[in-house]
Structure 1
């Protein structure tokens, strides 16, 4: 037991960072599609597939959840994870027919870490697709969640104060 999210059976967490850019990605991967929900707040939220999480929708479970730095560029991490999971045959299939791929459901949320001092001169090749694939590869370790300046928390800031990654789990026991 790690006393973090990875203590929950059927999920693993992967994290990847780019210290030069001062950014990163955290991925929660489910062994089987899982029910998920989201609460979007703030003046400039950045999400992907958040509407798919609304009750009563067609899709009942998600394959993975991506959290990323990089503001709008960070959403590219979920694109890479979606492509990799689709290549593995994972995802929602409205109809099963040869030649029609399943659609992995990979909601994502980003944070703004572009002004944290890291090198953001990536031109037309932001690092987030690479970081998304690296976080997916990292889920194979099935280790504990690295806290603080790790994964999506690598370059996180709360104003001028450093942020980071946290994790928790809750459990019940009989008295």
Structure 2
């Protein structure tokens, strides 16, 4: 049983929280690079930004721009899907290790240990009282004793010198 003192924050691995520093650093570098690239493009193109079709109609320009936007959106969607799969796998491994740590700590010296012990004692007591467990023990012991005796039996006509040392 989980008591009021236990929480997901107290489970090993989750108490410190995930490390976002590398991700924030990567995002900052990416945003900075995008900003620098935009400034460089505007400087080399001139401050005024005009989009004018060269040798094509406005309908062709609109179709080209929409196609480019669709391709860009598809690439971004694939990237987000890859991040989602990676994030799920990372979350799953963290949750799995946290659960293992929590359960092993509870089994070592927690409420779960006493609960399992009481269940086992109760089950074995009920089985011994009904006689089913005793009959199963007797059947298995008879089987082991009889098989062992048959295996250890020395065939007729053999002497002690013919039998290996450990079999007598």
Shorter-chain TM-score bucket reads: under 0.3
The structure richer in strand per residue is 1
The structure richer in helix per residue is 2
Give 1 or 2 for the bigger CA radius of gyration. 2
